[in-house]
């Protein structure tokens, strides 16, 4: 099973709302990633978890808060977002992150609209 | 850190035409190279990857890519495209202890 699942598929939220995006994989991967993708643009890395520890925060605003409850789950908590945060949020996983590189498997994404 | 350049922003081809999409990267050390495809409304899928060995890599759906180290290139090819190949194609580079960097993407439109 090479599937990464994400919920919800679509999310519309106001600027004062709090919501969470969820990601799950059952491939035994130890690295998980959050990306933001705007229309017709490549994915931009936001966060990396390696062995359930946050490795990289690519200077993402604090209104985005990641959480890795266990090795299979990844959450992205959203609070006080801005309309420019509207995008497709992608989750990915890979076997590991380190000296050896592995391919990443992507989920279908959550289409977020901030009103 | 490495950068990735994709030369073609939008390519329009007729069915059965041959395809070559360019990808160049800037890092001079050991890298791993990937091509991902994103069909309309679908998620990113891995087309092929190069880690080491034979520089000519074959992927899914009849795609192949050639790693030319001296040119820092990893171009994607397909001898005969189909309408169903219409998609966005991303080249990506990954160096050890670093994270994947994507090129800007090339939109391929295949006319039936």
User: Do B43 and B109 meet the contact criterion of CB atoms below 8 Å apart?
Assistant: no
Q: Is B102 on the interface with A (CB under 8 A)?
A: yes
pLDDT in the model for residue B57: 96
pLDDT of residue B3: 87
| Structure confidence at residue A36 (pLDDT) | 96
pLDDT confidence tier of residue B29, bands split at 50, 70 and 90: confident
Q: Is the pLDDT confidence value at B42 over 60?
A: yes
Q: Which pLDDT score is estimated for A102? A: 81
Count of other CB atoms within 10 angstroms of residue B65: 26
The pLDDT, as a whole number, for residue A1 is 57
Partner-chain residue, chosen from B32, B90, B107, that has the shortest CB–CB distance to A101: B32
Q: Do the strands A31-37 and B87-94 form a parallel or antiparallel pair, or are they unpaired?
A: unpaired
Per-window interface: B 17-56 vs A, CB < 8 A = 32, 34, 36, 42-46, 49, 51
Beta carbons of A109 and A90 less than 8 angstroms apart: yes
Mean pLDDT over B29-39 rounds to 91
**What's the confidence (pLDDT) of residue A99?**
65
Name which of B51, B90, B96 is nearest A42 (Cβ-Cβ): B90
The mean predicted confidence, pLDDT, of chain B is 92
The tens digit of pLDDT for each residue in B52-109 reads: 899 999 999 999 999 999 999 999 999 999 999 999 999 999 877 678 889 999 999 9
What are the structure tokens assigned to A98, written together? 């380190």
Distance CA A97, CA A104 (A): 10
Cβ count near A59 (within 10 Å): 6
Report chain B residues whose CB lies below 8 A from the CB of A109: 43
Residue A2 reports pLDDT greater than 80: no
Measured distance CA(B74)–CA(B28) in Å, rounded: 14
The string of pLDDT tens digits covering residues A27-71 is 999 999 999 999 889 999 999 999 999 987 878 999 999 999 999
Query: Other C-beta atoms within 10 Å of B13: how many?
Result: 17
How far apart, in whole angstroms, are the C-alpha atoms of residue A91 and residue A105?
8
DSSP codes of every residue in A11-71: EEE-TT-EEEEEEEE-S--SEEEEEEE-TTS--EEEEEEETTEEEEE-S--TTEEEEEEET
C-alpha span between A37 and A104 (Å, rounded): 16
More confident residue, A3 or A110: A110
Q: Say yes or no to pLDDT of B27 above 90.
A: no
Q: Residue B43 has what pLDDT?
A: 86
Neighbours of B72 (CB within 10 A): 18
Model pLDDT, residue A56: 79
Summarised one tens digit per residue, pLDDT across range A10-27 is 999 999 899 999 999 999
Largest CA distance in chain A: 42
Phi, psi of A88 (to 5 degrees): -95, 125
Which candidate from B49, B99, B105 shows the least CB-CB separation from A103?
B49
Q: Is the pLDDT of residue B28 over 80?
A: no
Percent of chain A with pLDDT over 70: 96
pLDDT above 80 for B44: yes
């Amino acid at each position: 099973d090479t599937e990464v699942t994400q919920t919800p598929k679509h999310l519309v939220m106001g600027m004062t709302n709090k919501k969470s995006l969820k990601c799950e994989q059952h491939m035994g991967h130890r690295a998980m990633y959050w990306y933001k993708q705007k229309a017709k643009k490549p994915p931009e890395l936001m966060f990396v978890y390696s062995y359930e520890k946050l490795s990289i925060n690519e200077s993402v605003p604090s209104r985005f808060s990641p959480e890795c409850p266990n090795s299979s789950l990844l959450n992205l908590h959203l609070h006080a977002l801005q309309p420019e945060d509207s995008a497709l949020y992608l989750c990915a996983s890979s076997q590991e992150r380190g000296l050896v590189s592995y391919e990443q498997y992507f989920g279908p994404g959550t289409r977020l609209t901030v009103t | 850190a490495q950068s990735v350049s994709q030369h073609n922003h939008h390519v329009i081809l007729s069915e059965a035409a041959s395809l070559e999409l360019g990808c160049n990267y800037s890092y001079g050390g050991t890298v791993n190279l990937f091509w991902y495809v994103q069909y309309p409304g679908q998620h990113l899928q891995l087309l092929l990857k190069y880690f080491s060995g034979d520089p000519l890599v074959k992927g899914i759906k009849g795609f192949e890519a050639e790693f030319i180290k001296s040119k820092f290139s990893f171009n994607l090819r397909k001898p005969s495209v189909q309408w169903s190949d219409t998609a966005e194609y991303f080249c990506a580079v990954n160096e050890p202890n670093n994270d994947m960097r994507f090129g800007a993407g090339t939109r391929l439109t295949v006319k039936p």
